[in-house]
Amino acid sequence: MKEYTVAVVGATGAVGRMMINVLEERNFPVKELRLFASPKSKGIKIPFRGEEINVEVLEETKSFKGIDIALFSAGAQRSLEYAPKFANDGAVVIDNSSAWRMDPEVPLVVPEVNPHAISKYKTEGIIANPNCSTIQMVVALKPIHEVAKIKRIVVSTYQSVSGAGQKAIDELISQIKAWCSGEPLPPAKHLPQTIAFNCIPHIDVFLPNRYTKEEMKMVEETKKIMEDPSIRVTATTVRVPVFYGHAESVNVETEKKLSVEEVIEILRKAPG
């Protein structure tokens, strides 16, 4: 079986660490694992298959040759700057950030939904991974769209703090612990408001059209992944005081009428 040299960029972040765990859990055919992070992570070692892997500093690395697959979760800025460097050195980059998603030359892919999109595009070497809230929605909606053609989607989300990274997870923890101790809650720093015992309808920044960027990501990415710009989407994205996992309430209008039982059957058979 073919083995790959895999890089994880943003290896010390919440997502990076989970990627490393999953590579091990799922026995991905890794010949060599290389880990990259920012200068402040210099010297950190992360275990993989019983070995301690040294974290390399991204900014200090001159060449990325020899890397087959690079999994990026280091923020949009770093993806913008480094994904092309990895790709030019021969890697296929799978990017978790928003940097390349709406680029017309870059495929935006959810494996259960539009894997064929990879070959549709002029080879850039970059494949974009959609926004967390978009992914789970299109996995559920694609099989319905195939049978009954979706016209309109109204979605409201219930997004956990991990979506905003380790610092947001730590912020919820420290607020809850302060509450338990009867101390004043530390002020909100990594989320727009206090999140303990609260819900915040504000994820990412507000745009002139009064939606947030998170909401518009759901709108734009859905149309691209489903390959149908006629699907109308409106989203309200809300942060809830949960650690891991996102939930969504999705209302769907279809061209063709479907019974509840038909929808249940479609979803029961669908991947993911």
Footprint of a second copy (CB under 8 A): 154, 156, 158, 176-177, 179-181, 197-199, 201, 210, 234, 236, 238, 240-243, 247, 249, 251, 260
| Residue 169 beta carbon to a second copy: minimum distance, rounded to whole angstroms | 11
Say how many C-beta atoms besides its own lie within 10 A of residue 43's C-beta. Answer: 8
**45 vs 179, beta carbon nearer a second copy:** 179
State the greatest distance between any 2 C-alpha atoms of the chain, in Å, as a whole number: 59
| Residue 237 beta carbon to a second copy: minimum distance, rounded to whole angstroms | 9
| φ, ψ for residue 163, nearest 5 deg | -60, -20
Positive or negative, the Cα torsion across 12, 17, 19, 20? Answer: positive
Positive or negative, the Cα torsion across 135, 233, 101, 131? Answer: negative
Positive or negative, the Cα torsion across 147, 136, 26, 109? Answer: positive
Cβ partners under 8 Å of residue 257, min gap 6:
148
| Residue 50 beta carbon to a second copy: minimum distance, rounded to whole angstroms | 29
| Residue 272 beta carbon to a second copy: minimum distance, rounded to whole angstroms | 19
Tell me, yes or no, if 246 is annotated catalytic.
yes
- CB of 142 within 8 A of CB of 223? no
Q: Residue for token digits 């996995």?
A: 139
Tell me, yes or no, if 116 is annotated catalytic.
no
**42 vs 206, beta carbon nearer a second copy:** 206
**85 vs 151, beta carbon nearer a second copy:** 151
Query: Phi-psi category of 237—alpha, beta or left, where left has phi over 0 and alpha has psi -120 to 50?
Result: beta
| φ, ψ for residue 94, nearest 5 deg | -110, 110
| Residue 263 beta carbon to a second copy: minimum distance, rounded to whole angstroms | 11
Active centre residues (catalytic): 132, 246
